[in-house]
Amino acid sequence: MFVEVVIGIALAVTVFLLINGVNALPFAVIGLLAYVLQNYMDKSGIIKNPSRVATGGKSVTFEDIGGQETAKNELLEALDFIKNYDEVKQMGIRPLRGILLTGAPGTGKTLLAKAASSYIDSAFISASGSEFIEMYAGVGAQRVRQLFKTARDLARKNSKKHCVIFIDEIEVIAGVRGKNTSHMEYDQTLNQLLVEMDGLSAKDDDVNILVIGATNRPDILDPAIMRPGRFDRIVKVDLPDKEGRYQILKLHTKDKPLADDVNLEQIARETFGFSGAHLENLCNEAAILAMRSRQKVISQCHFMEAIDKVIMGEKMNRKPTKEEMRRIAVHECGHALISEYFRPNSVSTVTVTSRGGALGYMRQKQEDDMYLYTKNHLEAQIAIALAGAAAEEIVLGDGSTGASGDIDQAVNLAKEIVFSGMSDMGVVDRDSVPLKELHKEISKIINTQKEKVKEIIEKHKGELNTIIDYLMENEKIDGETFRSFLKDLKNFKAA
């Protein structure tokens, strides 16, 4: 109907111009070109609705998400304002317009958004921030308008009062305005999103729209979209702690055949820093390893192997020479010896098997997750990092380039001590401290720890050589076996 009206008006204007002696041909050509361009853009999908309607399949609930109790509670409280709208309205509380989920990749932000939709029994559509941006000016803003229109239409069609719009990687369209000086399309798209979230463009309010955004870069978002009234609540989706990892492992292993020796609590302790996605991949890799070895159940050894694979990568085919193999064994056993000295029961695995970019490695474990570090702890970590090179120098007579990564780690830890005000320099300004003084203090911290490490290794050189020989023969040694070589010492740390 609208197209017919426009065509009628265009013909009337053309006739009027001809009667008055005006050449209407240029106007007709421009109108024809505009019509063809618009028709091409519609058919080619340049202006299209970026949304995807969730249909079919098993719906995700909050019971399907583990290890994020704090985030779930924050989100549930916000959703209750929508679910119990009539009760909340009596208290003068308005429904939330937006919830922003922030956190590292793989922590479950998308799953939380889907569970939110199931919880409030709403329509649900999703889009990605990258789908709104094109080279054509105004397309992104048009797509935002279409997204919100589709959300309202979908809710009405399904007799819903609410609709959840989930925008993943929202930082693409919601970054700080003005940073893309040569591409104003980003700013126009964000401006339209701000208008829609304010509700200024809506002609009625029969449908309540909740926008859930997800990002792992909240630091680059425009302040205008972060204010209350747009994103009313910011929910931090952190990496899970030890108990959270245990709950996630239980979820991902409930349908898998596990052997009696599987200890999920131990696996949770050994996977500090793993996200939910990492843990799901860990369980999947353990199952693959079990199937590869023609086992009908997944054993603890498969999970331990899978941890190494997730962290370091697949085993490499390259085979070092015998001399290189011994140097690698000396290096890794040095790390392990000093790790046990400063942190008893901390060694999980020592191996000379090449994985990813590492020729060998020593993996540590810890009883509890740590988020604050003391000076003693940082100095111990420096000592452990330097122990590989120190062991090479004492046992083999000289060092190698294999310690370069360890030295970088030790320097960064020493900087952490200095910039935290725990060094002899006292409190310093990170940006104005003289480089010469900084270098001098870092060198002092590192050299002090290296001397301690050399002294410990010299005292236990005999035990270290025994462990090295065992590792050369077996290529891998677990923490319990490693510690059994030290049991002959009545008091290892005090010796």
Residues with a known catalytic role: 332
Pairing of strands 123-128, 162-168: parallel
Alpha carbons 334 and 246: distance in angstroms, whole number:
31
Asked if residues 414 and 446 have their Cβ atoms less than 8 Å apart, the reply is: yes
Spell out the residues 6+ positions from residue 389 whose beta carbon is closer than 8 angstroms to its own: 331, 334, 399, 400, 403, 406, 407
Are the beta carbons of 103 and 113 closer than 8 angstroms? no
Phi-psi region of 177 (alpha: psi -120 to 50; beta: other; left: phi over 0): beta
Name the nearest CA neighbour of 447 among 368, 369, 379.
379
The alpha carbons of the chain give a radius of gyration, in whole angstroms, of 31
Q: Are 114 and 59 in contact (CB under 8 A)?
A: yes
Buried b (16+ CB within 10 A) or exposed e, 369-382: beeeeeeeebbbbb
